[in-house]
Amino acid sequence: MRRLLRLALPLGVILSLSCDSGPKDGEVVVALDTPSQDLGAIAFTLNALGPEVIDTVTAACGGCRVDLRRRSAKQVDGVVTGPLVSGALLRVAVSNRKLPQAYVAEALQAARRDYALVSVTTITLETRPQ
């Protein structure tokens, strides 16, 4: 019995340390594709499909800022501002990084740096593996 307790205690500590309090499995990147060279802001929505969830969303572009509104564990709305060009836009901590297609980002509105609105039909947001 004593031997079992000596083994059980370290095993319990290891198991409790290995449990993460959140659903985070890793990160995916939301990439921006746009012909515009003077974008200053994009309002977006990010949705997780199926059983997947979204943990955190941060800016991936230099000099950018992200403001978020979490609707649920599966949906986040936000605005990213700064000098926005094609390439990595957002880093998203997710429950399953092996399924980047389970996280769908959509541009809702966009504006140039001079605040003039830009058609979102020219903007693509694609979720990619990190």
**Which pLDDT score is estimated for 23?**
60
pLDDT band at residue 123 under the 50/70/90 scheme: very high
Cα Rg of the chain (Å, integer) = 19
Domains of the chain: 22-129 (2.60.40.680)
Please tell me the distance from the alpha carbon of residue 65 to that of residue 67, in angstroms, as a whole number: 7
SS3 45: strand
pLDDT in tens, 62-76: 999 999 999 999 999
**Which pLDDT score is estimated for 31?**
98
Contact 125, 30 (CB under 8 A): yes
**Which pLDDT score is estimated for 11?**
41
pLDDT band at residue 113 under the 50/70/90 scheme: very high
Q: Mean pLDDT over residues 90-102, rounded?
A: 96
pLDDT in tens, 10-49: 444 343 333 444 467 899 999 999 998 899 999 999 999 9
Q: How high is the mean pLDDT of the chain?
A: 87
Percent of the chain with pLDDT over 70: 82
DSSP of 17-76, one letter per residue?
HH--SS---EEEEEEEE-S-S-EEEEEEEEEE-TT--EEEEEE-STT-EEEEEE-SSSEE
Instruction: Return the structure tokens found at 76.
Output: 């986040």
Q: Mean pLDDT over residues 76-93, rounded?
A: 97
Of the candidates 127, 74, 126, 75, the residue with the CA atom closest to the CA atom of residue 99: 127
**Which pLDDT score is estimated for 25?**
87
Paired residues of 107 in beta bridges: 44
SS3 128: strand
